[in-house]
Structures are given as C-alpha cells and as structure tokens.
C-alpha cells in the first residue's frame, strides 16, 4: 500500500502515521488507538483495525490471531441524543 493510504477513514489516519507510532515502539493496538484516534470514529474501527493489526503483526512477529483487539463499545451504530431520550417526534 502507498504510505499515504488512509487507514482510518473516520479520523483521517494514514498508514504512514500508524507506521511511525509502531516504529517508535508502540506495539499495542490499545495504545495506538488512544494516541492516533484510529478506531475511535463512528465506525468503531471496522475498517482500520484489520489494517492496523496486519501492520502490528508484521512488527511484532505475531499472527493477527494472536493479537488482542480493542473492545467494541456500544452503541453499535451512531444514535442521536433525541432517539436515546425516546423523543422521536421532533
């Protein structure tokens, strides 16, 4: 992939940025998420986490299956405050 490929579309994070943090020694996906915001957008990392995990497995020499993935947090899809409040009429 070219290095300016966008890995996390929600937060506009490029592959190059992810690689920079990995090179600095951040090899835990939880730390990468918190430092770059990759995976903190509306899609909750559905797209980017596989890309990040692949990069991570390359650096850490572990298979993607051995790496833990961040918790999916509710809600599953973005939901508005008024829907949550049960006030669907306005």
Partner 1 sequence: MAMIKKKATVVIIGGGILGASVAYNLARQGLKDIVLVEKSYLTSGATGRCGAGIRQQWGTEMNCILSRESVRIFETLAEELEYPYGIDYRQNGYLLLAYSPKEREQFSKNVALQNSLGIPSRQVTSAEARDIVPHLNIDGLLGGAYCHTDGHANPFHVTFAYARAAERMGVNLYSNTEVLSIEKDKGRVCRVVTSQGSIDCEIVVNTAGGHAAVIGEMVGLDLPVYPERHQIMISEPVDAFQVPMVICMSHHFYIQQTTHGSFIMGQGDPNEPKGFNINPSWQFSVELAKKITSVLPHLKSLNIIRQWAGLYDMCPDAQPILGESPEVKGFFTASGFSGHGFMIAPYTAKLMAQAILGEEPEINIDILNYHRFASGQLILEPAVV
The residue whose two tokens read 């559905």 is 46
Compute φ and ψ for 63, nearest 5 degrees. Answer: -75, 150
d(CA 38, CA 79): 20
Smallest distance from the beta carbon of 88 to partner 1, in angstroms?
11
Site residues for partner 1, window 33-62 (CB under 8 A)?
A: 34-35, 37, 40-42, 44
Toward partner 1, which CB reaches closer, 2 or 25? 25
Span near partner 1 by CB under 8 A; candidates 1-9, 48-56, 57-65, 78-86: 78-86
């Amino acid at each position: 992939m070219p290095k300016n490929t966008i890995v996390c579309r929600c937060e506009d994070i490029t592959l190059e940025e992810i690689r920079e943090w990995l090179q600095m020694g951040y090899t835990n996906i939880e730390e990468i998420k918190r430092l770059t915001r990759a995976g903190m957008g509306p899609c909750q990392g559905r797209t980017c986490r596989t890309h990040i995990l692949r990069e991570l497995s390359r650096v850490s020499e572990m298979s993607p299956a051995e790496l833990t993935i961040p918790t999916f947090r509710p809600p599953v899809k973005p939901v508005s405050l008024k829907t949550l409040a049960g006030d669907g009429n306005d």
